[in-house]
């Protein structure tokens, strides 16, 4: 049975579970009988603890995913996906300009 492996740039169980749930929900569309493995890693986001702008959110998520790609190269890992998730506070006014 094929296994899809995803690395998540966080050790927070909520984020890891969210990625697993998402992959399980659309996994059957890729391949029947697919096994999914999701592992979390503490990697830096490069942004403030609570990002307050869309730019910070995107930068933080991208930095986490890019760090995971480097980690995979360094460790010779066979992860298929690299997931960077970033949470923060966006003010309603900032969303109006999106």
Number of neighbouring beta carbons within 10 Å of residue 30 = 11
> Which token pair is 10?
């966080």
CA distance 80 to 3: 9
Residue 17 lies in domain: 3-90
Reduce the DSSP state of residue 15 to 3 states and report it: helix
Q: pTM of the predicted model, to two decimals? A: 0.81
pLDDT per residue of the chain (98 residues) written in tens, 0 to 9: 678 899 999 999 999 999 999 988 887 776 667 788 999 999 988 887 788 788 888 889 999 999 999 999 999 999 999 999 988 765 544 444 44
Number of domains in the chain: 1
- Identify whether 95 is part of a domain: no
Domain membership flag for residue 15: yes
Residue 98: inside a domain: no
Q: Output the domain CATH number for residue 48.
A: 3.90.950.10
How would you list the strands of the sheet with 81-83, edge to edge? 35-40, 3-8, 81-83
**Considering the domain boundaries, does residue 12 fall inside one?**
yes
Closest CA to 43 of 21, 20, 75: 75
- Domain presence at residue 23: yes
**Residue 31: its pLDDT value, please?**
67
């Amino acid at each position: 049975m094929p296994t899809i492996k995803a690395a998540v740039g966080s050790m927070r169980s909520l984020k890891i579970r969210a990625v697993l749930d998402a992959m399980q929900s659309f996994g059957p569309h890729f391949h029947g009988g697919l096994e999914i493995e999701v592992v979390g890693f503490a990697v830096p986001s490069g942004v403030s603890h609570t990002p307050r702008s869309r730019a910070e959110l995107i930068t933080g998520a991208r930095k986490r995913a890019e760090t995971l790609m480097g980690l995979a190269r360094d460790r010779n890992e066979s992860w298929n996906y690299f997931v960077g998730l970033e949470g923060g506070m966006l003010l309603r006014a900032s969303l109006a300009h999106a």
